[in-house]
Structure 1
Amino acid sequence: MGERTAIEVQAGGQAAKARQFASNTPPKAAQKSSQPGSIYGKKLRVVDGDTLVLGEVRIRLFGIDAPELSQTCGDMQGAFWGCGAWSKAVLERLAQPGLSCAPKDIDRYGRTVAVCYDPKGMDVNAAMVAAGAAYAYVKYAKDYVETEQDARADGIGLWRAAVTPPAQFRADKRATQLASMPVQTPPEGCAIKGNISKSGKLYHLPGGRWYEGTRISPASGERWFCSEGDALAAGWRRAQG
């Protein structure tokens, strides 16, 4: 059996278990899916285990955190497998046509943070956690903590293997990338970094979460600022975090 086929088989089994979770989903879930402001779309594309595109809207699933698409995990025999690709495959099985998503926020990348429901009212976010294909993202919400505890106790999905939590995986990757980057010395007295990204023009203050990992490219229109007032006057927004 090839690797891709194995992933699909695993995804099918875990998605089936997750659908069983739907029978325990409170009726209010179906009501939430039709609330004003819900997002619908005929086009549906799964990006990874916690991100999808519905219509023209890029959506980050609220309250959960799945392995990065490139992430690998160890199994009980010490072999490595593509847990990030597997998590995506589970979401592809759960996110069926007719999906609707109830927005809750916009993240720093401009994505809509939402809870998504299948046509029967099943909370897809919760189903991903129930299938052991995603963690409860307790940094931002505690909605799915009990669901994760059940999956963990039953050794479902990721809980059968040696998995680095996605947040730690991203932090380690950033640290590795940062260590390989050349040091940039700001102009004297002008240490604020004006960066241009998919989220627009953002400025980063020294000590901020993304400051050390941000590199300024004047050729791309990026620049240093001497004060927040200068950055705001030039049309930049303060980065979150």
Structure 2
Amino acid sequence: MALPTELAAEGKAVRVIDGDTIELRGEKIRLDGIDAPELAQTCLTSSGRKWPCGKAARDYLKRLAATGKVICEGNETDAYDRRIATCRAGGQNLNAEMIRSGHALAFRRYSTAYVMEEQAARLAGKGLWAGLFEMPWDYRAQKWQVAAQSGPENCPIKGNITGRGKIYHTPWSPHYERTRIDENAGERWFCSEAEALAAGWRAAR
């Protein structure tokens, strides 16, 4: 069944998950053409001081989403069953503004829509571009590689069961390191997010 092209919500019906993902009325939306630092990711200022760039990206998107009704357009989904969309609020294109502010990067692997905005942010030294940082896709790949060495059969995603249900943690999730898996209690390891979702687990929030 095809998704409707437009989805809108405001107030408590809008939840920002991270710097490139929001939830409208319970439906996850991946902002098209951008990639923001992961929540657990830290970056460096020009003076070499660490700062929580992943959480800063999320908080900036929260402020943008609070400026008015959030309207998202797009009816395609990704491998994790998230709608891929361009979202607006308060007269602003949220995807583009995340790039312009230096809180996210143009996700060239999938789109070149915001390359110009990224170049402008880089020249102006905004956000991430004011210091040093690892590309989000490289950060995820490095975390995956390290975790895969200790996970069974190169499957490092942790499927944890809590009072809130079945939750999976990727190697770049904030609580990954302190999550322990008890296979005797029904917890398990996954080789991909798609596998975890198909088994009935949901991503950690």
Structure 2 distance, partners of 1:132, 1:76, is: 14
The alignment partner of 2:149 has SS state of: helix
* Distance in structure 2 (CA, Å) of the matches to 1:98 and 1:49: 18
Aligned to 1:98: 69
The match for 1:145 is 115
Q: Identity percentage over the alignment?
A: 37
Question: Which residue pairs with 1:39 in the alignment?
Answer: 7
Q: Secondary structure, in 3 states, of the residue corresponding to 1:180?
A: coil
Match of 1:170 in 2: 140
What is the CA-CA distance between 1:76 and the residue it aligns to? 1.5
User: Contact (CA 8 Å) 1:100, 1:119: kept in 2 or not?
Assistant: no
Deviations 1:34-80 (A, max 9, x none): xx721012311100000010112110100000000010011122221
8 Å Cα contact 2:34-2:104 kept in structure 1: yes
Question: In 2, are the aligned partners of 1:50 and 1:65 still within 8 Å (CA)?
Answer: yes
Distance 1:175 1:150, change over 3 A: same
Superposition map of 1:1-241 within 5 A? 37-42=5-10, 43-96=13-66, 97-120=68-91, 122-183=92-153
> How many pairs align?
157
1:104/1:115 contact within 8 Å kept = no
> 1:40 corresponds to which letter in structure 2?
A
1:178 to 1:131, Cα distance in 2 relative to 1, 3 A: same
Task: Name whichever structure is richer in strand by fraction.
Answer: 2
- Give distance in 1, aligned partners of 2:151 and 2:188: 20
* Over 3 Å off, 4+ runs: 219-222
Gaps of 5+ in 1: 1-35, 185-195, 197-216, 223-234, 237-241
Structure 2 unaligned segments of length 5 or more: list them: 160-182, 190-197, 200-205
Q: Which SS does the other structure have where 1:140 is aligned?
A: coil
Question: 1: CA distance between counterparts of 2:78 and 2:52?
Answer: 27
**Whole-angstrom distance in 2 between the partners of 1:221 and 1:78:** 39
State the SS of the aligned residue for 1:168. Answer: helix
Tell me the TM-score normalized by structure 1. 0.60
Higher helix share: 1
| CA spacing shift, 1:155–1:37, aligned 2, 3 Å | same
In the TM superposition, what is the alpha-carbon distance from 1:167 to its structure 2 partner? 0.3
Deviation at 1:104, TM superposition (A): 4.4
Measured in 2, the distance between the counterparts of 1:182 and 1:167 equals 23
2 CA distance for matches of 1:80 and 1:101? 33
Deviation at 1:137, TM superposition (A): 0.3
Contact 2:5 2:75 in 1 (8 A): no
**TM-score, length-scaled by structure 2:** 0.70
- Which whole-Å CA distance do the structure 1 matches of 2:152 and 2:111 have between them? 36
Over the residues paired in the alignment, what is the CA RMSD in angstroms? 2.4
- 1:225 corresponds in structure 2 to none
- Contact kept? 1:39, 1:100, Cα under 8 Å: yes
